[in-house]
Amino acid sequence: MIPTQDLLLFAGAALLMVLTPGPNMIYVISRSICQGRRAGVISLFGVVTGFLVHMLAAAVGLTAVFLTVPAAYEILKWLGAAYLFWLAWQAVKPGARSPFEHRELPMDSNLKLYLMGFLTNVLNPKIAVFYLAIFPQFVSPERGSVFLQSITLGAVQILVSFTVNFMIAMLAGGIATWFAANPLWLRVQRYLMGAVLGVLALRLVMERREG
């Protein structure tokens, strides 16, 4: 199986990935603040399910198909970019409010919270590419089943992501309180978030496949 030292190194790479702000983190924060910690955790479980899809795809080789079959990758890429653009517009459109701002919203059902968390993650092809780029560096046929090694790495990544995002969901209320005391930064944060999401979408659209 995979040596402990390699697993720790992989966990470090997974930690860097989850600490980089992106759609998953933004969605969990917004749900936690708008509907409470429970809603944030339910949304997080949807995100985790999306990771399971990417992990299993990598383990059985479907991720490689995305990179070798232009149509498969392009469809997923454009779906992911469209979703990022939509999130960016929601942040900067007239009358939009920051996800860190306290507000009352209609309560979404648990199923909707879960599905939106799932879609936020599963429509991000960068996660699939991350798995394909990282897994080969830690998987070796000499250590036994490549499938089991891939599942192990995926489980480590999911555990790291869940732990970090769970802490964010628990602390989101405190973050919102700080923004309430500093209202100018609510507007700054909203436009900054929209700009970051827009740039991510543009980079995804403009990214050229290798090979």
Taking only the tens place, the pLDDT of each residue in 81-111 is 786 788 778 777 877 666 566 656 567 899 9
Tokens coding 162: 């869940």
**DSSP H helix total and E strand total for the chain:** 9, 0
Give the mean pLDDT of 110-129: 86
pLDDT confidence band for 17 (50 / 70 / 90): confident
Tokens coding 146: 């490549």
- Residues 123 and 76 sit within 8 Å (Cβ to Cβ): yes
In Å, how far from its chain's centre is CA 22?
A: 6
Give the mean pLDDT of 108-123: 91
pTM for the predicted model, two decimal places: 0.69
The pLDDT of residue 43 is above 90: yes
Task: Please provide the size of the chain in residues.
Answer: 211
> Alpha-carbon distance 62 to 53, whole Å?
10
The pLDDT of residue 211 is above 50: no
Going by the DSSP 8-state scheme, the letter that residue 142 receives in this structure is G
Tokens coding 81: 């970019």
Tokens coding 135: 């897994």
> Alpha-carbon distance 181 to 174, whole Å?
11
The shares of helix, strand and coil residues in the chain, as percent rounded to the nearest 5, are 80, 0, 20
- pLDDT score, position 162: 94
The pLDDT of residue 79 is above 90: no
Give the mean pLDDT of 30-55: 89
